[in-house]
Amino acid sequence: AYQPRPEHKFSFGLWTIANRGRDPFGDAVRPTIPPNDIVALLREVGAWGVNLHDNDLVPIDATPSERDKIVRDFQAACRQHGIVVPMATVNLFFDPIFKDGAFTANDADVRAYALQKTMRAMDLGAELGAKLFVLWGGREGTETDACRRPEEPFKRLREAIDYLCEYNLDKKYGFKFALEAKPNEPRGDIYMPTTGAYLGFIPTLAHPEMVGVNPEVAHEHMAGLNALHAVAQAWEAGKLFHIDLNDQNPGRYDQDFRFASATPKSMFWLVKFLEDSGYQGPRHFDAHAYRTEDIAGVKDFARGCMRSYLILKEKAQRWNADKEIQQIFSEINPQTTGSSKYSHDGALSLLNRTYDRAAIAKRGLQYERLDQLTMELLWGIR
């Protein structure tokens, strides 16, 4: 039981396993693991896929022939270990050129370079078989709003994404783009701080059908929000193209903890939603091991992410099969009869209806009981 299998679609970023525990106050504590060894490690722990930024694999200053050899060797490692590359992305945050942002930077050369770098990352992703391309605008933000007209960055971002959609069409790559929000870190404030902000932005693009979101649990938590609600809204809008699973306590630094390790109850509802909804995309873990860990601890971390997901998935099945829980749930979610669609006559009759407010308000809703049963189920005594 709780054994990860390919059909679970568990993936990890190269950068997650490669994380060396460096933070703003302390240096690396773990050795560099070369990408091909990460592929072997992922196979060992039972993962299905690996995702990457361009520079997780190919150094930013590699020559074309160096690049080609690295990519060939990586493809061979993926084949050997039966690991797929479902998603690719581009690093638009590490190099100093991006200190003022990438697509939203004031300097037109920086913006053009960001496009060039992204197109090359798309070439790389397509070569590796990825069908999803994530864009996380980690440097698109400000410390001081003295820097530009506040509406300008949204125009620049739109222009960049429209451009990349055209490149996608031109090259027939068939990518879907998934935009990832974060409220702050590394910038003081990042534009597009929440998944909701992106859901409002996407319909303003030239190719909205090509673009969705990549909600990250921890990023919604950093903003003090309910990640499930963001994910569910994205799903309902047909925009849940990818998801970054991890965990995070609100009001802290960017923790990227092992999945479900900080807010297990919320993560139960999230896993239940992903499973019940029929979401078919990857279950990607964007997290990393504590700084206290060695390589064995990194494997514990990776195994723990998948195992916790599968445990919560089993709990969700139990919840769905629990007679008492289902009884309460159906009582509090009565079937509605008739349509609530607008019609002139329907509106007239609604206007003339009388409602017994006090009687309706008096009904207890049993949420306390339902929540307690859920907690007991999660605690394993049910």
Nearest CA to 247 out of 213, 270, 214, 217 is that of 217
> CA of 334: how far to CAs of 32, 117, 329, in Å?
56, 53, 9
Residue showing tokens 């530009």:
148
Q: Is 89 in the site for ligand GLT (CB under 6 A)?
A: yes
Q: Is 140 in the site for ligand GLT (CB under 6 A)?
A: no
Q: Which is nearer to ligand GLT, 15 or 163 (CB)?
A: 15
Q: Is 218 in the site for Mn ion (CB under 5 A)?
A: yes
Cα separation, 29 vs 13, in Å, equals 19
The residue from 180, 191, 215, 287 that contacts ligand GLT (CB under 6 A) is 180
Do 96 and 51 meet the contact criterion of CB atoms below 8 Å apart? no
Region from 163-171, 200-208, 279-287, 359-367 binding Mn ion, contact rule CB under 5 A: 279-287
Q: Is 56 in the site for ligand GLT (CB under 6 A)?
A: no
Do 73 and 112 meet the contact criterion of CB atoms below 8 Å apart? no
The residue from 244, 245, 271, 301 that contacts Mn ion (CB under 5 A) is 244
The residue from 56, 100, 140, 286 that contacts ligand GLT (CB under 6 A) is 286
Question: Which of 54, 56, 100, 247 is the catalytic position?
Answer: 56
Amino acid at 125: G
Q: CB of residue 256 vs Mn ion: minimum separation in angstroms?
A: 4
Q: Which is nearer to ligand GLT, 100 or 256 (CB)?
A: 256
With left for phi above 0 and alpha for psi between -120 and 50, is residue 46 left, alpha or beta?
A: left
The residue from 134, 202, 270, 274 that contacts ligand GLT (CB under 6 A) is 134
The answer to whether 207 is a known catalytic residue is no
Q: Phi and psi (nearest 5°) for 185? A: 70, 110
Q: CB of residue 136 vs ligand GLT: minimum separation in angstroms?
A: 4
Do 113 and 97 meet the contact criterion of CB atoms below 8 Å apart? yes
Q: How many CB atoms lie within 10 A of CB 299?
A: 17
Q: Is 220 in the site for ligand GLT (CB under 6 A)?
A: no
The answer to whether 53 is a known catalytic residue is yes
Q: Is 256 in the site for Mn ion (CB under 5 A)?
A: yes
Site string for Mn ion, 44-83 (x = CB under 5 A): ----------------------------------------
Q: What is the dihedral of CA 97, 102, 108, 112, to 10 degrees?
A: 90
Q: Which does 89 bind (CB under 5 to 8 A by kind): Mn ion, ligand GLT, none?
A: ligand GLT
Residue showing tokens 């060695």:
294
Q: Which does 54 bind (CB under 5 to 8 A by kind): Mn ion, ligand GLT, none?
A: none
Residue burial 107-146, b: 16+ Cβ < 10 Å; e: rest: eeebbebbbebbbebbbbbbbbebbbbbbbbbbbbbeeee
The residue from 216, 230, 260, 271 that contacts Mn ion (CB under 5 A) is 216
Active site residues: 53, 56
**Contact positions vs ligand GLT (CB under 6 A):** 15, 53, 89, 134, 136, 180, 216, 244, 286
**Contact positions vs Mn ion (CB under 5 A):** 216, 218, 244, 256, 286
